[in-house]
Amino acid sequence: MMMETSINVAAVQMVSSTCVDDNLKAAAHWIEAAAMRSAQLVLLPEYFCIMGQRDTDKLAHKEEAGNGPLQEFLAAQARDHGIWLIGGTIPVAINDDERILNTCFVYGPDGQQQARYDKIHLFGFDNGKEFFSEADTIQAGRNSPVTFQSPCGPTGLSICYDLRFPELYRALGSVNLIVVPSAFTYTTGKAHWEILLRARAIENQCYVLAAAQGGKHENGRRTWGHSVLIDPWGVVIDQIPDGPGLACGVVDPDHIRQVRTSLPALTHRTL
């Protein structure tokens, strides 16, 4: 089993465009910048590869699981920089021409895929001014909660809207790190982003690393940003507002043990 040790981590914030090539260049730039800052685990945001003019635009870039230029890009970046790379999300083909899976892939320093998670909860929002219905173009994932062993210990995968469903995070079991690649809207992010992330960190007594889309996109959508690393006590270690950049810090398993020893809430659960 991989030894748990303190590691440097980074969340990449992007303002992805309608051009996949431009987005991959931007992602490569920030992955390299994170590696230069000694990050051993790097998280990309949801849909780092494309934010289309229409929700259906992503269908043109769907890939079969295990094969395709987006997955090849992620594998090469992990291998070239010798890092753990969590690839935000990319569209993965299913037996439905009008929908895809919104999938997060994890690659190890050797460029090999180590884990995969398909987004379970699909965002729906209508306040009379803004309307979103992910179920129109995405099929909900049917896989169980997914964890993998990273250098800092057990690490749980989730995506964006999953953040509102604490039962998913409980089902991950005892993890040292939760990652949340996201593209929160400005409206919902301003209201709930940080409080939900801090709640997930506090109640699970673990670190939370969230990489977000953050800014005004070509399609007119505005995303909240505020990519962040939060510690098991709910303390914000690093955060950036909007625009491209990095939120960086250290995940320290010893600090997790200290928090869980001083306040053993996880052992006090009765349900």
- pLDDT tens-place string over residues 48-87: 999 999 999 999 999 999 999 999 999 999 999 999 999 9
Q: What is the pLDDT of residues 195-211, one digit of tens each?
A: 999 999 999 999 999 99
49 is catalytic: no
Task: Assign 143 a pLDDT band (cuts: 50, 70, 90).
Answer: confident
Please provide the distance, in angstroms rounded to a whole number, between the alpha carbons at the two ends of the chain: 30
Confidence check: pLDDT of 144 > 90: no
Q: What is the CATH number of domain 7-266?
A: 3.60.110.10
How large is the average pLDDT for residues 215-240? 97
Task: Assign 1 a pLDDT band (cuts: 50, 70, 90).
Answer: low
Q: Which of 160, 194, 206, 248 is catalytic?
A: 160
Q: Which of 49, 62, 119, 152 is catalytic?
A: 119
Separation of alpha carbons 263 and 205, rounded Å: 9
- DSSP 8-state code for residue 213: B
Residues 6 or more apart whose Cβ sits within 8 Å of residue 248: 8, 9, 10, 11, 34, 37, 39, 229, 238
182 and 213 Cβ atoms separated by less than 8 Å: yes
Q: Spell out the domain ranges in the chain.
A: 7-266
46 is catalytic: yes
248 is catalytic: no
Residue 271: per-residue pLDDT: 83
pTM above 0.75, yes or no: yes
Q: Which of 4, 46, 63, 194 is catalytic?
A: 46
Residue 72: per-residue pLDDT: 98
- DSSP 8-state code for residue 83: -
